[in-house]
Amino acid sequence: MADLGESGDLDTAWRTLRAGLIENRWLLTSRSTALPGLGSTALAVYDGVAALLSRTARETFGPEVTPLRFPPVFSAHMLEQTDYVASFPQLAGTINSFRGGQGEYRDLIATYGRGDDWQPLFSPTGLALTPAACHPLYAWLEDGEVDHTRLYELTGDCFRHEPSEDPMRFVAFRMREYVRLGTAEQAMTHREQWLAIARSLYETLGLEVDIVPANDPFFGRGGILLAANQRRDEAKWEVVTEVYPGTPCAIGSGNYHDTHFGDEFGLRLPDGSTAHSACFGFGMDRTILALAARHGFDPTTWPGAVQVELGLAG
């Protein structure tokens, strides 16, 4: 067989992983590319990772931990406040619905009946898909004073439109985020603490990880500059592991936002100055798939210590 070169190897690697995940019912696929469900085994591992994170947060930060949950949908206006429209329009998702009356409904049904594309007959609702689990938090806190003693714990579905057959890249995926708002120092400390916690936690689960500057896919030619700025400012670090040999894949990231969200959402410190923020996000789906890639599809054969950490033993 011919040498496929690096991208061919990568292609083979993710096809092999994908086939194994489907065969072992970790991923439940349908016509919707990159939108698989999780089977019972995957869910048990998922729940184990979620419980481990909750336990670790409470052991470390006690009553500061404040669990909240926001829905996967929010106001499209929020994509403006976070500047997501300008930075990542190709990943964003806005929501349309049918807004017409009986006459337009007749047109809709006729179009639908002919088998033609009815989606253009839907119009904007002013709603969008949440691209990051922490954005709705800033919207809830809007124009208020932040409490730096709160460690917000958020679990949320995120949407990023980058359809791919690579099982490490879902269009809809789940993040567990830990967020701190406060002074610059408090926010920076938060990111450093959680990078350390995440490294230790992933190593406990048998994953070899590295921490590298992030390289987000900002749109277009201007995006090259924005990505360079992100790396220069060391604003965002990713925890990566080699799910595919030679190709680091981010399974978590720590992001210091400076006063980006504080400015846009009017978040203040008690002295009236603008709040800084930082978040650490665990990519939940990627984490469990990395565990499957590392240890195999049957958790009863995983190292005993990993099973114990995830509550899967016995």
For 44, the 3-state DSSP assignment is helix
Indicate the pairing of strand 276-283 with strand 247-258. Answer: antiparallel
Of residues 25 and 199, the one with the C-beta less far from its own copies: 25
- As measured in angstroms, the least distance from the Cβ of 220 to its own copies is 5
Q: Is 126 a residue that touches its own copies (CB under 8 A)? A: yes
CB 127 within 8 A of CB 152: no
The CA-atom distances, in angstroms, between 62 and each of 67, 73, 190 are: 12, 30, 15
Considering all CA atoms of the chain, what is the largest pairwise distance in Å, rounded to the nearest integer? 67
Of 11, 52, 58, 85, the one binding its own copies by CB under 8 A: 85
Q: Kindly state the smallest distance separating residue 119's Cβ from its own copies, in Å.
A: 4
129 forms part of the interface with its own copies (CB under 8 A): yes
Q: Is 84 in the site for its own copies (CB under 8 A)?
A: no
**Minimum gap (Å) between residue 37 Cβ and its own copies:** 4
- Annotate each residue in 42-81 with x if it binds its own copies (CB under 8 A) or - if it does not, as one string: -x--x-------------------xxxxxxxxxxxxx-x-
Residue 174, token pair as written in the block: 């789940």
How many C-beta atoms lie closer than 10 Å to residue 7's C-beta? 9
Tell me the pairing of strands 151-159 and 123-129.
unpaired
Quick one: tokens of 218?
């900002």
DSSP code, position 88: -
Within 185-244, the residues that bind its own copies by CB under 8 A are 219-221
Q: Is 139 a binder of its own copies (CB under 8 A)? A: yes
Total chain residues near its own copies (CB under 8 A): 70
State how far the Cα of 47 lies from the Cα of 98, in Å rounded to an integer: 37
Can you give the binding site for its own copies, defined by CB under 8 A? Answer: 28-32, 35-40, 43, 46, 66-78, 80, 85-86, 89-99, 102, 105, 108-109, 112, 117-120, 122, 124-127, 129, 136-137, 139-140, 142, 157, 159, 161, 170-173, 219-221
